[in-house]
Amino acid sequence: MVIGAGGLLGQYVAAEASVLGHEVLGTFHETSVPSSAFETTRLDITESHEVDAVLKRFAPDAVVLTSAMTNVDLCERNPSKAWAVNAEGTLNVALACSSTGARLLYVSTDYVFSGVKGAPYLEFESPEPQSVYARTKLEGERVTMDASTRNAVCRISVLYGWNRVSRKQNFITWIIDSLRKGKEVPLFFDQIASPTYAPHCAKVIVRLLENNSRGMFHASGPDCVSRYDIGLAVAKTFGLDKALIKRVATNESDLIAKRPHCSCLDVGKVEGELNMKMLTLEDGLIDMRSTEDRK
């Protein structure tokens, strides 16, 4: 069962599991998900009775929770809604999984870290969330891990890829779109992270479940790059004008929520667990360029 199959990551997780022959139920919230490949149903994770009913009916072996309130500044402005979705919503799912015997894999974020270390974080290092979004996601991690030792958490960072379900942009599609329109793109040189290609991350998530892996994993790409350098890599791969990319500092912006300076994730553990390499930004962008027509 994939909760949030209308989101960027959820759409790829549902498709990957389905292609591999798993029986899939994909849930959506407001935007419906058209799919002939798997069953879909509407679900609001803040409604515990709905969560209980769907889990009882479908009786999944495993649940992947990708749904969240993901707009970091909106969470800062509306902390009670952020808490209701990201923390209490996760608790509702974790409780329903425990009572039906399903394993839960929860998708979390690099933003749980303060970013002051200046190097990639390992799974066991202490989180120090700097924003409402990060605190509510950390609570989601806690309830997932406390609910069952069979559960898993995958932290990811700067998720990107073509959105085949909705018109919602992500960081990289926004850069491509802006450069194609000849617009200037201001990008932070002092926010450094590990971009995560949604189609590849989906494969990793399904393999972790097939492998019965449990515990905490960093499942991002292996790079540790600034948002400015991501922009330059996008311009290079897509043959766009890099002169439109402007190097800016976080303190020149009007962002509401505090962002970590360097929230890169060390992916050695997941690579060892699955005996596979995580996909680099360069390879993710090349794959995006060659698959754009499938949109």
Considering the complex, state which of residue 230 and residue 243 has its C-beta at the smaller distance from ligand NAP: 230
Residue 95: which region, alpha, beta or left (left: phi > 0; alpha: psi -120 to 50)?
alpha
Tokens 């923390």 sit at which residue? 87
Instruction: Give the nearest residue (CB) to ligand NAP.
Output: 7
Q: Does 31 bind ligand NAP (CB under 6 A)?
A: yes
* Nearer CB in complex with ligand NAP: 111/235: 111
Residue 249 three-state SS: coil
Residues 19/6, Cβ–Cβ less than 8 Å: no
Which range of residues in 38-46, 124-132, 250-258, 284-292 is near ligand NAP by CB under 6 A? 38-46
User: Does 158 participate in binding ligand NAP (rule CB under 6 A)?
Assistant: yes
Active site residue 111: no
Which positions from 101 through 120 interact with ligand NAP, judged by CB under 6 A? 107, 109
Nearer to ligand NAP, 21 or 90 (CB): 90
The yes or no reply on residue 174 touching ligand NAP (CB under 6 A) is no
Q: Are 64 and 12 in contact (CB under 8 A)?
A: no
* 35 counts as binding ligand NAP under rule CB under 6 A: no
Q: What are phi and psi of 100, to 5 degrees?
A: -105, -5
Binding mask 177-206 for ligand NAP (x = CB under 6 A): ------------------------------
The single residue among 16, 40, 72, 89 that binds ligand NAP, judged by CB under 6 A, is: 89
Q: Which residues pair with 216 in a beta bridge?
A: 153
Instruction: Find the binder of ligand NAP among 46, 78, 100, 250 (CB under 6 A).
Output: 46
The answer to whether 54 contacts ligand NAP (rule: CB under 6 A) is no
Which residue among 43, 192, 202, 279 contacts ligand NAP (CB under 6 A)? 43
**Cα(88)–Cα(80) distance, rounded to whole angstroms?**
10
Give the ranges where the chain is alpha helix by DSSP (H). Answer: 8-19, 48-58, 72-77, 79-82, 89-100, 132-147, 171-180, 198-210, 227-238, 268-274, 281-291
From residue 267, how far is each of 118, 195, 294 by CA, in Å? 16, 12, 29
Which of the residues are catalytic?
133
Q: Which residues bind ligand NAP (CB under 6 A)?
A: 4, 6-10, 28-31, 43-46, 66-70, 85, 89, 107, 109, 137, 156-159, 168
